[in-house]
Amino acid sequence: MIRFTKTVQLYQDTTGKNAAEGVPVRVLLTGTTTEATVFSDDAGTIPLAQPFLTNLISQGNPGQFTFVVSDGTYDIEIDGGIAIANEAIFSPTVFIATDPVLATTLGTVVKRIEIFDFAGASLGFIPVYDAIT
């Protein structure tokens, strides 16, 4: 089970605020009109009736919605229309190295990813290698 949270913003003012409040949300099995089984608690024991509503300003985080669901791919219907299609919702995978070995040899740089600060100024590049052994 994994907790999924998004904020709906159907309209904006000049400051980019005013998320939609109290908008109906349904979680559907991908490509169908069948509602997925969703929960309100992390343990997956309290079913969440659909449609449920996005938060009101009085609840904090207006326009936000949260649900807990099994790993899978879902369509999310907001205010009667599919707003998020084929959303893959999966628990993070944890890899535990049982016999770790220190990698010391970098392969060839095949791509560089440029990183920017909040103002848009370049901070430099992160290399992507074809192999690390």
Asked, for residue 32, whether it belongs to a domain, the answer is: yes
Asked, for residue 70, whether it belongs to a domain, the answer is: yes
Whole-Å CA distances, 85 to 5, 8, 18, 90, 124: 15, 14, 23, 15, 34
What region does 60 belong to: left with phi over 0, alpha with psi -120 to 50, or beta?
Answer: left
- Tell me: pLDDT of 95 over 60: no
Asked, for residue 131, whether it belongs to a domain, the answer is: no
Asked, for residue 106, whether it belongs to a domain, the answer is: no
Whole-Å CA distances, 128 to 41, 69, 101, 112, 123: 39, 34, 20, 6, 16
Can you spell out the DSSP letters for 24-65? Answer: EEEEEETTSSPBPP-BSSTTS-SB--SSEEPPPGGGSSTTEE
Asked, for residue 123, whether it belongs to a domain, the answer is: no
Show the domain range for 24. Answer: 2-89
Asked, for residue 35, whether it belongs to a domain, the answer is: yes
Asked, for residue 12, whether it belongs to a domain, the answer is: yes
CATH code of residue 72: 2.60.40
Q: Write the pLDDT tens digit of every residue in 10-38.
A: 655 555 555 577 888 999 998 899 999 99
Distance CA 90, CA 68 (A): 11
Q: Among residues 25, 80, 78, 79, which one has the least CA distance to residue 49?
A: 25
- Tell me: pLDDT of 122 over 70: yes
- Tell me: pLDDT of 115 over 70: yes
Predicted TM-score (pTM) above 0.85:
no
Q: What's the number of domains the chain is made of?
A: 1
Residue that is written with structure tokens 């009109």 in the block: 33
Asked, for residue 13, whether it belongs to a domain, the answer is: yes
